[in-house]
Amino acid sequence: METTKYAFKTTIKLSYDEAIQKVIELLKNEGFGVLTEIDVKETMKKKLDVDLRRYKILGACNPPNAFKALKSETDIGLMLPCNVIVYESDSGATVVAAIDPVASMMAAENKELEAIAQEVREKLRKVIESIENYRG
């Protein structure tokens, strides 16, 4: 697993379609639901008539933590849900990445949110580690 300034990321052996289904299942196991699925390839083709690699954004929400965050700071909804992406790399491999909620919520400077973000971070990190280690 690679960790960047704002995400956890891994390249896996599953196909793109298999990865999406497995990520959704792993998110569910960690208490997340997927509220939105944005097919970026399809959207770019439709709106700009450009071809892009297969790329999907999953808007994942953990309701108990989202509720706590919104009680702590009403405008934090601007940073929800937590995005997880699945895409095909230039080499054709499947890449899965999740936002690091600690990095995304730093701007709020709210101690209550920090604790919530830490909890969500661990859940999302577990999802990425699980998909990385998945052997099917």
Question: Using an 8 Å Cβ cutoff, are 40 and 56 in contact?
Answer: yes
Output the pLDDT for position 106: 84
CA nearest neighbour of 84 among 120, 52, 59: 59
Q: Is the peptide bond before 64 cis (omega within 30 degrees of 0)?
A: no
Q: What would the pLDDT profile of 66-86 be if each residue is shown by its tens digit? A: 999 999 999 999 999 999 999
Output the pLDDT for position 27: 98
Burial class (CB in 10 A: 0-12, 13-18, 19+), 32: buried
Domains in the chain, ordered, with CATH?
2-133 (3.30.310.70)
Judge whether residue 136 has pLDDT over 80: no
> pLDDT category, 47, cuts 50, 70, 90?
very high
Rounded to whole angstroms, how far apart are CA atoms 17 and 87? 10
| Tokens, residue 52 | 């892009």
